[in-house]
Structure 1
Amino acid sequence: MFEAIVTLCASLEAGPCRDHLLPGYEAAEAAVCAAQLAETPPRTALAGLVSKGAPRCVPVGPALAMTEVAAGVFVHRGAIAEPDMDNRGDVSNLGFVIGETSVAVIDSGTARWMGEGTWRAIRAETDKPVSHVILTHMHPDHVFGASVFTDAGALALGHADLPRALIDRQANYLESLGRLMGAETMIGTEVIRLDQFVEGTAEIDLGGRVLQLETWPTAHTGTDLTVFDAGSGVLFAGDLVFDQHTPALDGSLLGWRAVMAELAEREVAGVVPGHGGPLLDWPVGAADMIRYLAVLEQDTRQALDAGARLGAAVETIAQEEAVHWELFDAYNPRNATVAFTELEWE
Structure 2
Amino acid sequence: MFEAFVTMCLIAAAGSGAPQVSQTCREALLPGFSADTKTACEHALRPVARQPGHWTEKPPFCAPRPASTLAFSEAARGVFVHRGRVAEPDPENGGDVSNIAFIIGSRSIAVIDSGGARKLGEDIYLAIRERSSLPISHLILTHMHPDHVFGAEPLREAGATILGQANLPRALADRAESYRANYSRLIGEAGFLGSRVPVPDRAIAQEEVIDLGGRILELRAWPSSHTASDLTVLDRTSAILFAGDLLFDTHTPALDGSLRGWLSVLSQMKELGARQVVPGHGGPLLEWPQAAEPVERYLRVLESDTRKALDEGLALGPASEVIGRSEAGRWRLFDLYNPRNATAAYTELEWDP
TM-score range, shorter chain: over 0.9
Closer, same or farther: CA 257–237 of 1 in aligned 2, 3 Å: same
Aligned residue among 11, 29, 32 for 2:37: 29
Pair 1:52-2:57 in alignment: yes
Structure 2: distance between partners of 1:61 and 1:228: 31
Aligned to 1:117: 123
The answer to whether the Cα contact below 8 Å between 1:106 and 1:135 also exists between their aligned partners in 2 is: yes
> What amino acid sits opposite 1:186 in the alignment?
F
Aligned to 1:161: 167
Structure 2: distance between partners of 1:74 and 1:189: 24
> What amino acid sits opposite 1:14 in the alignment?
S
The answer to whether the Cα contact below 8 Å between 1:10 and 1:50 also exists between their aligned partners in 2 is: no
> What amino acid sits opposite 2:65 in the alignment?
V
Residue aligned with 1:9, SS? strand
> What amino acid sits opposite 1:279 in the alignment?
L
Residue aligned with 1:13, SS? strand
Structure 2: distance between partners of 1:212 and 1:151: 24
Structure 1: distance between partners of 2:208 and 2:51: 33
> What amino acid sits opposite 2:48 in the alignment?
P
Structure 2: distance between partners of 1:169 and 1:54: 32
Structure 2: distance between partners of 1:68 and 1:23: 23
The answer to whether the Cα contact below 8 Å between 1:68 and 1:75 also exists between their aligned partners in 2 is: yes
Aligned to 1:84: 90
- Deviation at residue 17 of structure 1 after TM alignment: 2.4
Structure 1: distance between partners of 2:124 and 2:49: 19
Residue aligned with 1:231, SS? coil
The answer to whether the Cα contact below 8 Å between 2:209 and 2:217 also exists between their aligned partners in 1 is: yes
The answer to whether the Cα contact below 8 Å between 1:270 and 1:281 also exists between their aligned partners in 2 is: yes
For structure 1, which runs of at least 5 residues remain unmatched after alignment? none
Residue aligned with 1:51, SS? coil
Aligned to 2:215: 209
> What amino acid sits opposite 2:26 in the alignment?
R
Residue aligned with 2:148, SS? helix
Aligned to 1:3: 3
* C-alpha distance after superposition, 1:70-108 (max 9, x if no partner): 110111100000000100100000111101100011100
Aligned residue among 1, 18, 24 for 2:26: 18
The answer to whether the Cα contact below 8 Å between 2:102 and 2:109 also exists between their aligned partners in 1 is: yes
Structure 1: distance between partners of 2:55 and 2:262: 44
- Deviation at residue 318 of structure 1 after TM alignment: 1.0
Structure 2: distance between partners of 1:152 and 1:65: 20
> What amino acid sits opposite 1:143 in the alignment?
V
The answer to whether the Cα contact below 8 Å between 2:218 and 2:234 also exists between their aligned partners in 1 is: yes
Structure 2: distance between partners of 1:142 and 1:277: 16
Pair 1:235-2:241 in alignment: yes
CA RMSD of aligned residues (A): 1.8
Aligned residue among 69, 94, 100 for 1:94: 100
The answer to whether the Cα contact below 8 Å between 1:22 and 1:42 also exists between their aligned partners in 2 is: no
Residue aligned with 2:321, SS? coil
Q: Percent identity?
A: 53
Residue aligned with 2:218, SS? strand
The answer to whether the Cα contact below 8 Å between 1:211 and 1:227 also exists between their aligned partners in 2 is: yes
Q: What is the number of residues matched between the two proteins?
A: 343
Residue aligned with 1:14, SS? strand
Residue aligned with 2:309, SS? helix
Moved more, 7-16 or 110-119: 7-16
